[in-house]
Structure 1
Amino acid sequence: MNPLPSSDQPLTCDVLVVGGGINGAGIARDLAGRGAKVVLCEQHDLAQHTSSSSTKLIHGGLRYLEYYEFSLVRKALAEREVLIKAAPHIMWPLRFVMPHDPRANFLRPAWMIRAGLFLYDHLAKREVLPGSKTVDLRSHAAGRPLKPGFTKGFVYSDGWVDDARLVLLNALDAQEHGATVYTRTSCTQAERSPQGWSATLRHADGTLQPVQARALVNAAGPWTAQFLKQQARLQGSKSLRLIKGSHIVVKKMFEHDHAYIFQNPDKRIIFAIPYEDDFTLIGTTDIEHHGPIGTARIDQSEIDYLCEQASRYFAKPVTAADVVWTYSGVRPLLDDESSDASAVTRDYLLDLDTSAAPLLSVWGGKITTFRKLAEEAADLLQAPLGLAQGAWTAGAMMPGGDIAAWPDVARSVSAPAAARRRDAVAPVARPDAIPRFEAALGRSHPWLPAAMRQRWARSYGSRVALFLPAEAGGLASLGAEVAPYLYEAELRYLHEHEWARSADDALWRRTKLGLHLTEAQRAAVATWWAAQFPGETTPADQTMAGLPPEMATKK
């Protein structure tokens, strides 16, 4: 992690990136890989807000075809396999089932669905993801949890992603390419001149740090317009629609590995997705958000809505009493003056102003297209900054993604990215990549419990070598067991290498262990953290990505 400089030691850089969500981290990664000297600052934790509150999907956006967003859908479809190849440990293919009952007048007609799926299959090249098909739900496993009226289903492919870890991997890759990354560091002011930007960063301990930058990237997400007006004292040319999306998590509703996409009478859709082995994730809502940006919370009407819509399909009704966890995020969507919140475009706009020192503002976007957005942002800054190297991320591995050669890769996993992965091209994605890696991890460390092997493989990939002893030391070599299957070695790694500064950072964003632990077990982790890293722990209600303590898991 980057040490804090003294307040009288100004930082100089080519680009100051404000915002540690997916867009800011992605832009910092791309620019650093092109040779730019980058400083990234995030006022809270990485991915603390919008970027850890998605539906966890890498998808083209099937429903956007209804709004004629063909360019956005094509771009997103093309990105699915690029991303899965780059980070197979945190992203993988997922099959979706759309149940159909011709008697239900609120469902789109079968011909329309077939036409949409034909476009979805052919708008962009597919190498790994299988195409769509029709299935008989009376015999298909996906039909068993549903009401008997749903006899036909349409099946298609998209992808799953651990959204918070995707942000983290981009920040790690940016750092490994030379970027300086500061979390819990706000940019309190930024003054522009023809020669550059003079900014002030405020670290968590109150230290003020001056920064001189040649260019500034405003990737503050929901705070983009606010940052321009208050910190940069400039007038933005665009505006955002702040849309709250809320999700509920319930105990596992089905045993198979497919997800569902449900059509609702209001013409919206919701997903029901296998989640964390033991749960089902249901969402999302689309509601205009008018309150403070960082305090979005689910309300009872949203819970009731998601339960009601899911219960139209599942044979076993979903009730509010079944909800074990919720989360909400505010999506900063580019304002296209649509009267329907769910119809607001998910596309993005990059606004580069070079009337003085370059200012690039990011308006809108979605997690699936973050890499393309970052590439286009770096392309725009290439000439103003005089960068010699061009685009590079389309075929590059993410940290931990080089799992195919385990355990050989473990011997070099701690090497800097510039030496270790600059020329490493992501191989063709294999559907069995993770099971093969888990098996290899078990052969090299047979003393690891299966549950830990699976979670580590799907969280850290090859980076487990940074805290997993190479020798046959057994579980005792990992230190004390702070909570079930959570050892000191992993927690220290999260603190040292992944910017975790509180138990909530570790339990709710770097992992989702908070969902599996009891309140007493989560408290034990918090107690350990406070003892090991005094002075760093932040209040839970400020770190839990829009998740207030009263909405924590019910055990």
Structure 2
Amino acid sequence: MADRGIYDLLVIGGGINGAGIARDAAGRGLSVFLAEQGDLAEFTSSASTKLIHGGIRYLENYEFRLVREALMERERLLAIAPHIIWPLRFVLPHEPGLRPAWMIRIGLFLYDHLARLKTLPGSQGVNLRTSPVGMPLRDALTKGFLYSDCAVDDSRLVVFNAIAAEENGAQIRTRTRFVEAHREDDVWVATTEDLASGKRETVKARILINAAGPWVSELLSEKLGIHSRAAVRLVKGSHIVVPRLYEGEQAYIFQNPDRRIVFAIPYREKFTLIGTTDVPYEDEPHAVGISKDETAYLCESVNHYFKRGITPADVVWTYAGVRPLYDDAASNASVVTRDYVLDIDASSGEPPVMSIFGGKITTYRRLAEHALEKLEPWLPGLKPSWTAKVPLPGGDLPDGDFDRFVADLIKRKPFLPADMAHRLARAYGTHVDMILGEARALNDLGRDFGGGLTQAEVDYLVDYEWARTSADILWRRSKLGLVAPKETAAALDDYLDIKSTALRRKVN
């Protein structure tokens, strides 16, 4: 904490942008206080398509700078987080009558060459009649293309950034509501409220970062009384998860007649993730959910390409999020820019507030660097950027080799079932030892909550990752809600309540 109890940065919002800025700033020696009204990544940042990608479709909108930056970030993030980010090969079937093949070839050529750094395989044509990747597709689809991007565990990406921020001295407060703030002399004086206890706290900071996502404009106008020329445009993206539709580790990208694209991605071994939609949204972001029309749209999209059809009855899970895009006045929600705008209000030498409009999960690290670059006039002596090459917590795998890391984990802990070892390694990387400790048998990990979730993992998530509810654990930290028995959530909430009560008694 800075002198006189004043922080350098007060960050409002615990999504990917807020957590990324907190990590970068704290690692440069700045004092940081981050307040998140819910759980980390509870809203938009856990509702992505789970991809780290350049965004091939953005080339059609001539957003070459954004695509190039995203492709370069894809390589950097894969290097610093090989536990939660992994390469994925995409199949793009050519649909006669939509985008012509020559256009796709040019787009893929640009996609291969816009990034100077390149570790993933380049694009190529593929005969869908003879290649195994064509087997799940309708016989009428004979020609296609292959290219590379990456998959990501989006919620865990946020959590690891928050952990890194805390390790560098940041204060991370979840379930903490930002009440209001005003300028007083050369600082912001803010009020926050702990939603569990109702206790309010005064926080002083030299700079306020508005990373409130879908609430960015609301926070500016209603909590700070500031009217910005930049505006947010809310677009809902929804996804469905169904039992696995095909064999193989490849993903598919499908073109639709409305010129939108839909992904079908291998998900958690036994499932296929399908998304996303782009729907204008004007309601309360807390209450977002998929509509029947969106579910039908996604089913119809994959049915147009796959031999094996699906209906809404096949859907085992859905999720939706509201993307706070920068309003560039585009008429169609699907072509609104995914680039970000950093808007600073600091008139008459007053302490600044920076508001973040737009952005995509792939470029969060560069956004954080850019944010601190713009704030450097208020941060004399700011240390240089550092996050491009330093692994995220758990990401320091030997030579970045995930498969070797899993093999070594199984060798060290032979009592772990292979699928459980793989899941734990993928979720926690080298932090897995904080869970497994000196365990020599499954029973050493304590109570089995079902689905492979043990008491040792739950305790770790509560003690080190701010988990407080069964939803935090089952749907954001682990995704075990897809496979755990129905009674797991209730048993977990009972355990968490007992653990929380014991902690309060110990503190008091």
Residue 128 (structure 1) aligns with: 119
- TM-score of the two chains, using structure 2 as the length reference: 0.96
Q: Offset at 1:127? A: 2.9
Q: Offset at 1:110? A: 0.5
Q: From 409, 416, 430, give the equivalent of 1:462.
A: 430
Residue 161 (structure 1) aligns with: 152
Q: From 444, 454, 461, give the equivalent of 1:487.
A: 454
Question: Which segment drifts farther, 482-491 or 54-63?
Answer: 482-491
1:323 aligns with 2:315: yes
Q: From 474, 485, 491, give the equivalent of 1:507.
A: 474
Tell me, what secondary structure is at the counterpart of 1:363? strand
Describe how 1:392-411 pairs up with structure 2 within 5 A.
Answer: 392-404=386-398
Residue 291 (structure 2) aligns with: 299
Q: Distance in 2 between matches of 1:515 and 1:484?
A: 9
Q: Distance in 2 between matches of 1:237 and 1:19?
A: 21
Question: Quick check: 1:172–1:399 contact (8 Å CA) kept in 2?
Answer: yes
Residue 496 (structure 1) aligns with: 463
Residue 364 (structure 1) aligns with: 358
Q: CA distance change for structure 1 residues 233 and 19 in 2, over 3 Å: closer, same or farther?
A: same
Tell me, what secondary structure is at the counterpart of 1:490? helix
1:389 aligns with 2:383: yes
Q: Offset at 1:469? A: 1.9
Counterpart residue identity of residue 453, structure 2: L
Tell me, what secondary structure is at the counterpart of 1:460? helix
Q: Distance in 1 between matches of 2:117 and 2:123?
A: 12
Question: Quick check: 2:15–2:41 contact (8 Å CA) kept in 1?
Answer: yes
Describe how 1:40-119 pairs up with structure 2 within 5 A.
Answer: 40-101=34-95, 104-105=96-97, 107-119=98-110
Question: Quick check: 2:451–2:483 contact (8 Å CA) kept in 1?
Answer: no
Q: Distance in 1 between matches of 2:48 and 2:5?
A: 34
Q: Distance in 2 between matches of 1:334 and 1:142?
A: 37
Q: Offset at 1:194? A: 4.2
Q: Distance in 2 between matches of 1:196 and 1:66?
A: 44
Q: Offset at 1:506? A: 0.5
1:325-373 alpha-carbon deviations (Å, 9 max, x no partner) = 0000000000000000001000001112332102111111000000000
Q: Distance in 1 between matches of 2:164 and 2:346?
A: 28
Q: From 330, 342, 345, give the equivalent of 1:338.
A: 330
Counterpart residue identity of residue 152, structure 1: K
Residue 151 (structure 1) aligns with: 142
Q: CA distance change for structure 1 residues 25 and 118 in 2, over 3 Å: closer, same or farther?
A: same
Residue 231 (structure 1) aligns with: 223
Q: Distance in 2 between matches of 1:50 and 1:484?
A: 26
Residue 518 (structure 1) aligns with: 485
1:186-209 alpha-carbon deviations (Å, 9 max, x no partner) = 110010134110000101210000
Tell me, what secondary structure is at the counterpart of 1:270? strand
Counterpart residue identity of residue 151, structure 1: T
Q: Offset at 1:380? A: 1.7
Q: Distance in 1 between matches of 2:134 and 2:358?
A: 37
Counterpart residue identity of residue 201, structure 1: T
Residue 506 (structure 2) aligns with: none
Q: Offset at 1:491? A: 0.2
1:79-119 alpha-carbon deviations (Å, 9 max, x no partner) = 10100001000001111000124xx32x2110000000000
Q: CA distance change for structure 1 residues 383 and 253 in 2, over 3 Å: closer, same or farther?
A: same
Tell me, what secondary structure is at the counterpart of 1:201? strand
Gaps in structure 2 of 5+ consecutive residues: 504-508
Counterpart residue identity of residue 517, structure 1: A
Question: Quick check: 1:483–1:525 contact (8 Å CA) kept in 2?
Answer: no
Describe how 1:533-552 pairs up with structure 2 within 5 A.
Answer: 533-534=500-501
Q: Distance in 2 between matches of 1:522 and 1:44?
A: 19
1:418-451 alpha-carbon deviations (Å, 9 max, x no partner) = xxxxxxxxx6x5xxx2111100111111111112
Counterpart residue identity of residue 140, structure 1: S
Question: Quick check: 2:451–2:485 contact (8 Å CA) kept in 1?
Answer: no
1:181 aligns with 2:159: no
1:306-335 alpha-carbon deviations (Å, 9 max, x no partner) = 001110000011211111100000000000
Q: Distance in 1 between matches of 2:341 and 2:168?
A: 26
Tell me, what secondary structure is at the counterpart of 1:350? strand
Residue 201 (structure 1) aligns with: 192
Residue 249 (structure 1) aligns with: 241
1:387-415 alpha-carbon deviations (Å, 9 max, x no partner) = 431111111110000121xxxxxxxxxxx
Q: Distance in 1 between matches of 2:34 and 2:280?
A: 29
Q: Offset at 1:287? A: 0.3
1:484-513 alpha-carbon deviations (Å, 9 max, x no partner) = 321111000000000001111011001100
Q: From 391, 403, 406, give the equivalent of 1:435.
A: 403
Q: CA RMSD in A?
A: 1.6
Question: Quick check: 2:410–2:421 contact (8 Å CA) kept in 1?
Answer: yes
1:153-205 alpha-carbon deviations (Å, 9 max, x no partner) = 10000110000000001100000011000000011001013411000010121
Residue 219 (structure 1) aligns with: 211
Tell me, what secondary structure is at the counterpart of 2:497? helix
Question: Quick check: 1:55–1:284 contact (8 Å CA) kept in 2?
Answer: yes
Q: Distance in 2 between matches of 1:370 and 1:325?
A: 27
Question: Quick check: 2:28–2:385 contact (8 Å CA) kept in 1?
Answer: yes
Question: Which segment drifts farther, 521-530 or 505-514?
Answer: 521-530
Q: Distance in 1 between matches of 2:41 and 2:488?
A: 24
Q: From 19, 26, 34, give the equivalent of 2:28.
A: 34
Counterpart residue identity of residue 474, structure 2: L
Question: Quick check: 1:34–1:389 contact (8 Å CA) kept in 2?
Answer: yes
Q: Offset at 1:11? A: 5.0
Q: Distance in 1 between matches of 2:287 and 2:310?
A: 26
Q: Distance in 2 between matches of 1:83 and 1:153?
A: 28
Residue 190 (structure 1) aligns with: 181
Counterpart residue identity of residue 512, structure 1: K
Q: From 21, 33, 39, give the equivalent of 2:15.
A: 21
Q: Identity of paired residues, percent?
A: 52
Q: Distance in 1 between matches of 2:34 and 2:171?
A: 6
Counterpart residue identity of residue 17, structure 1: V
Counterpart residue identity of residue 109, structure 1: P
Residue 273 (structure 2) aligns with: 281
Question: Which segment drifts farther, 67-76 or 461-470?
Answer: 461-470
Question: Quick check: 1:58–1:160 contact (8 Å CA) kept in 2?
Answer: yes
